[in-house]
Amino acid sequence: MTHRLAIGFVAGILALPALALDINDYQIVDLSHSYNNDTLYWPTSPTKFEKEELSFGETANGMFYSAYSICTPEHGGTHLDAPQHFAADGMPTDRIPLESLMGNAVVIDISKKAATDRNYLLSASDVRSFEDQYGRINPGDIVLLRTDWSQFWPDAKTYLGDDTPGDASKLQFPSYGEDAARLLVEERGVAILGVDTASTDFGKSVSFVVHRIAAARDVSNLENLTNLDKLPPTGAVVFALPMKIEGGSGGPVRVVALIPKK
């Protein structure tokens, strides 16, 4: 199914009368971690997730009411990187077209390679091998890189490779390589690069070349995903809708996948 068909599928759902969509025809997979006190952030982040209770209990008129104040940096937990994150003239979060935030999922599994090399980089050869087996990756597809690193969440030392506060120089985890990113972004024209590690650049990166390649083509990133092992290599449709922060460089995102039941 091409990206055009996927968007038509989404538009068709939205155009259906109320209750016409039988959700039982789909398996729904949540690809997001919850935000809480254990949420992981980049080691140099000055703050983390904060949740303050404003009200919880019975009001003067006898009804129950709860409310909270929350605060979080844009880039932590399961979040989206807008192109503006690494490109001065890139699109901010609120200007990313909706059609770029939903589409066909392509799940490339490097979990076995990452299990023996925690600094493994997805290569262009890996991408072409995937295409030999499952077909060419199409413009507008959402590529999700499965490393199975989410099994280590929220243990910062194992997940990031180092848990020294304020120091990002010792991180070790797998992700995209430069040649794979160029193939996917510049040649295939994908809409999003996603991964179940802390970054679309591997932990040892100092140049963040994958971020820069993506941002230059207005391609967003999804980081700290989970449950990628529950998705097929192709056939799922992904929705990744971030908090609509005006002028933002990213933000918390709830990512879900719909898999048609056969």
Averaged pLDDT of the chain: 94
What is the per-residue pLDDT for 262? 80
Q: What is the pLDDT of residues 133-165, one digit of tens each?
A: 999 999 999 999 999 999 999 999 999 999 999
pTM for the structure as a whole: 0.92
Helices (H), the chain: 3-15, 111-116, 124-134, 156-160, 178-182, 209-216
Q: Structural domains in the chain?
A: 3-45+74-260 (3.50.30.50)
What is the per-residue pLDDT for 22? 80
Q: Over the Cα atoms of the chain, what is R_g? A: 19
Pairing of strands 250-260, 79-81: antiparallel
Residues 6+ apart with CB under 8 A from 177: 121, 122, 123, 124, 202, 210
What is the per-residue pLDDT for 103? 97
What is the per-residue pLDDT for 20? 61
Question: 224: which DSSP letter?
Answer: S
What is the per-residue pLDDT for 133? 98
What is the per-residue pLDDT for 141? 98
What is the per-residue pLDDT for 8? 53
What is the per-residue pLDDT for 2? 47
What is the per-residue pLDDT for 23? 85
Counting as low any pLDDT under 70, the low residues of the chain are 1-21
What is the per-residue pLDDT for 12? 52
What string of DSSP letters covers 74-94? SSBSSEEE-GGGT-TTSPPGG
